[in-house]
Amino acid sequence: MTTTDTYAAYIASLPKVLAGAAALFRDAEGRVLLVEPNYREGWALPGGTIESDEGESPRAAARRETAEEIGLDLPLGRLLAVDWVRGSARPPLVAYVYDGGVLSAGQLAAIRLQEAELLSWRLVPATELTAYLPGALGLRIEAAYEVLETGAGPLELEDGRVVAA
């Protein structure tokens, strides 16, 4: 067995971790843009899986997924939070949340959903996020929104909860 073969076998034996990235967009009133996927229950931020086989970075994935899902190809702001989410029926997930900025009325009107994956979109007041986003996802988005409000961060989260330093 060559060194290359040995290294490839070693890499194949390592634990698997999923990775995703999303953008937190708001309107002028501070409401958060959520999308409704057709492949699972509930709502989410625009975003999705990082294509690591192609060397895609989390920021690039969030921008690509946003362009694909809602038809807006916009530069993203700073990293707001990184969340380590344990999975019972899937490998752990590392989720990155970026500041998508404040969308103008014209940008909101220009939203075009990727019909193959999404049913609808809506703007949700920050105080109602956990009604649309249960569990770790809701906690993650609330924490990311708080970073926007306070200017702190980025935050390190585990299952949506801030990790104490």
User: Tokens 């899902």 — which residue?
Assistant: 69
> By three-state DSSP, how is residue 141 classified?
helix
pLDDT in tens, 58-113: 999 999 999 999 999 999 999 999 999 998 788 899 999 999 999 999 999 999 99
The pLDDT score that the predictor gives to residue 54 is: 82
Q: Where are the domains of the chain?
A: 16-162
> 39: which 2 tokens?
């492949």
Predicted pLDDT at 94:
96
CA 140 to chain centre: 9
How high is the pLDDT of residue 14?
A: 73
Task: Give pTM, 2 decimals.
Answer: 0.91
* Residue partners of 118: CB distance under 8 A and separation at least 6: 35, 36, 37, 38, 69, 70
Cβ(20)–Cβ(50) below 8 Å: yes
Dihedral sign, Cα of residue 117, residue 136, residue 85, residue 45: positive
Decide if 126 contacts 32 (C-beta within 8 A).
yes
Instruction: Give yes or no for a contact between 78 and 58, defined as CB atoms under 8 angstroms apart.
Output: no
Q: Of the CATH numbers 3.20.20.80, 3.90.79.10, 3.40.30.10, 3.40.220.10, which one belongs to the domain with range 16-162?
A: 3.90.79.10
CA distances from 164 to 34, 52, 83, 157, 161 (A): 28, 29, 13, 9, 9
